[in-house]
Amino acid sequence: MSFTTFSQSVEKTVLPERFTFPFYYQPHDIALIAIEQLQRDLLQSSLLKAHFIDDDKTAGKMFGVLVVQNKEGQLGYLSAFSGKLSQHLIPSTEPLNAPLQNCHQPIFVPAIDDSFESDRIFTDTQKEINVLNLKVNDLTTELEIPKLQAELAEQTTQYNHKIEGFRQNIITARKIRKDKRLHAKNNLSEREQSVLFDELAKESVAEKNAFNAFKENQLQVLELTKKSLELANAKIIALKNKRKKLSANLQKAIFEQYSFLNALGDKKNVIELFSSLTSDLSQQFKAIPSGAGDCAAPKLLHYAYKHDYYPVAMAEFWWGKSPKSAVRKHKQIYPACHSKCQPILTHMLKGLNVDENPLLMNPAEGKQLDIIYQDDDILVINKPADFLSVPGKNITDSVYSRIKLAFPYATGPLIVHRLDMSTSGLMVLALTKDANKQLQKQFIKRTVTKRYVALLSGVLSNNNGTVDLPLRVDLDDRPRQLVCYEYGKPAQTYYEVIHRDAENTRVYFYPKTGRTHQLRVHSAHQLGLNAAIVGDDHYGTSADRLHLHAEQLTFIHPATGKELFFEVAPDF
């Protein structure tokens, strides 16, 4: 049993009216109490502490809590981890003589799939696949195929050698016959010439017939070997197709074990939930991300529904060392990932009264765009924080839509560069096609100078420096970015400290490149400044806003050729 009672009184804690929206949330107080209790148990478990805290080589893991009520109305919580853990770290049974909250070894909910059935399916099918692998290996490396390939190569070499010998003999014989004809014309009578010429003609025909018969015989030998080789290859293709079908069936059977309940009692497996992502059946399994269904949130909800617990609130946090690529901080709370969890949790939350999706709300409502500079060619604006540069998937209100409405006769595409929705500050827009073209050239050549100001949640030791960390998108959790030396694009940021206090550092940023979330990742990542920007809800913790502002902008006017400089101070 994985139901954990609270070790402190929670009677005075007001419960939420609606369940947590898992992809963007501030954890409720009752969820924070559960997290604190679970983290104490994680720390007091000698096995888990040694694995996650003491071992420098082991990266941390996402853990989650789901506050629930049981049938008797008692409040408690369930705990889970994302992915898998070594079996020796997970207790197989609950301690018999100690309350759960005092056992110091958390009891986690099990995986979604029926492990026994999955193991049986995997073992039985894998035995068949292994037999096929041996047969394919025998044909391709040890027995029939290599022997036939060697035989065909030898026969082909001999055939070509004999054919060439035949041709040389024919050429020699032809020359001899030619000489005989010339000699006969000068030395023999017409009757003698006629007899000789007939004999030479018959000799020529006989040679050709012999040559053709030899070729036909040799080609038949080659053809027999080729057919044997084709049959052997056909056997391999058949074996591989059978193996492929078995593998696909195995994959399908395992995916079908990942079936998820929702609050209505409906159950869907991972294939059904991800099938809407592609209409190509051959790509159906490829559309399912690796590890889908193994995250903490689906495990928690499925266990709650299965055992008649009523979900109250949920939160997930990172525990342990930061990974090398993603930005993850010990004890910090994070939302559920999109690529793996969104189709699953969208189904699992049906029937629950869930908080509204804040990502569907227009954060720019009631905000104004300040025009700093305007002429016939360009605009320079001060974009507020939480204001889209261009229309998004669900929200159209943006710098582009506002300016398009205010300047309906503008001939340019308007947008030259972008700022993240959460970032405030200066943007230049083009009102003509030519202005857009000229400004884009400056951005591409990196002759535009930008200075950002940011407040970091940490105290930097160096006064200045350069962060050089290549970035790419996190395919499992867009739009977050990862540090990736293999596939990432180069990204460099020069920084300069302006001011420090006991908890924060104010800095200037001079980005040399303009990658998505560059300043945010370079600030938060352990290989960067290791101090997230205050209010960064992607890589740090939420606040009233993201404390990042594009303060200065310098560029050449696309029409006059004069250098323009703009500066607007931040509101933080």
Let me know whether 448 and 551 are in one domain. Answer: yes
Residues 386 and 517 both lie in one domain = yes
DSSP string for residues in 514-549: --TTHHHHHHHSTTTTS-PBTT-TTTS---SS--EE
**pTM of structure:** 0.77
Residue where a domain stops, chosen among 230, 254, 278: 254
Residues 436 and 403 in one domain: yes
Q: Of residues 113, 355, 386, 420, which has the active-site annotation? A: 420
Per the domain annotation, does 221 fall within a domain?
yes
User: Do 106 and 171 share a domain, yes or no?
Assistant: no
335 lies in a domain? yes
Q: Which residues of 472-495 are buried (b: 16+ CB within 10 A; e: fewer)?
A: bbbebbeebbbbbeeebeebbbeb
Q: Is residue 382 situated within a structural domain?
A: yes
Q: What is the pLDDT of residues 439-450, one digit of tens each?
A: 999 999 999 999
Q: How confident is the model at residue 228 (pLDDT cuts 50, 70, 90)?
A: confident
Pair 341, 298: CB distance under 8 Å: yes
% of the chain beyond a pLDDT of 70: 92
pLDDT in tens, 90-108: 654 443 333 333 345 678 9
Here the CATH number for the domain that contains residue 493 is 3.30.2350.10
287 plus 246 within the same structural domain: no
- Segments forming the whole domain that contains residue 205: 135-254
Give the Cα-Cα-Cα angle 168, 170, 176 (nearest 5 degrees): 105
Give 471 or 476, the one with higher predicted confidence. Answer: 471
Instruction: Clarify whether residues 532 and 398 are in a common domain.
Output: yes
Beta-bridge partner residues of 456: 505, 533
21: CB partners within 8 A, 6+ apart: 354, 355, 356, 357, 358
8 Å CB contact between 351 and 264? yes
Q: How far is 328 from 319, CA to CA, in rounded Å? A: 9
Tracing tokens 């360009």 back to the chain, one arrives at 378
| Per-chain mean pLDDT for the chain | 89
Confidence of residue 339 (pLDDT cuts 50, 70, 90): confident
Boundary (domain end) residue, out of 254, 289, 320: 254
Q: Are 427 and 542 part of one and the same domain? A: yes
Classify residue 473: in a domain, yes or no: yes
Is 306 part of any domain? Answer: yes
**Residues linked to residue 554 through DSSP beta bridges, in sequence order:** 449, 565
Q: What's the pLDDT tens digit per position in 35-93?
A: 999 999 999 888 888 888 888 888 899 999 999 999 999 999 999 999 888 766 765 44
54 is catalytic: no
310 has which bridge partners? 69
Taking each helix axis from N to C terminus, what angle separates 115-137 and 190-257, rounded to the nearest 10 degrees?
A: 170
For residue 124, tell me if it sits in a domain: no
Question: Do 495 and 517 reside in the same domain of the chain?
Answer: yes
Q: Are strands 424-430 and 548-556 parallel, antiparallel or unpaired?
A: parallel
In a domain, 446, yes or no: yes
Mean per-residue pLDDT, 351-359: 94
Q: Is residue 294 domain-shared with residue 378, that is, in the same domain?
A: no
Domain limit, last residue, from 254, 282, 315? 254
What crossing angle do the helices spanning 338-348 and 296-306 adopt, rounded to 10°? 20
Whether 228 and 106 map to the same domain: the answer is no
Q: Mean pLDDT throughout 279-285?
A: 60
Amino acid at 497: V
How many residues make up the chain in this entry?
Answer: 572
Residue 126 pLDDT more than 70? yes
Residues 300, 248: one domain? no
Q: Estimate the crossing angle of helix 144-187 against helix 190-257, to 10 degrees.
A: 170
Contact 25, 349 (CB under 8 A): no
Residues 188 and 293 both lie in one domain = no
Q: Please, which residues have CB within 8 angstroms of residue 433's CB and are 6 or more apart in sequence?
A: 411, 412, 413
Tell me whether residue 262 is in a domain: no
What is the count of structural domains for the chain? Answer: 3
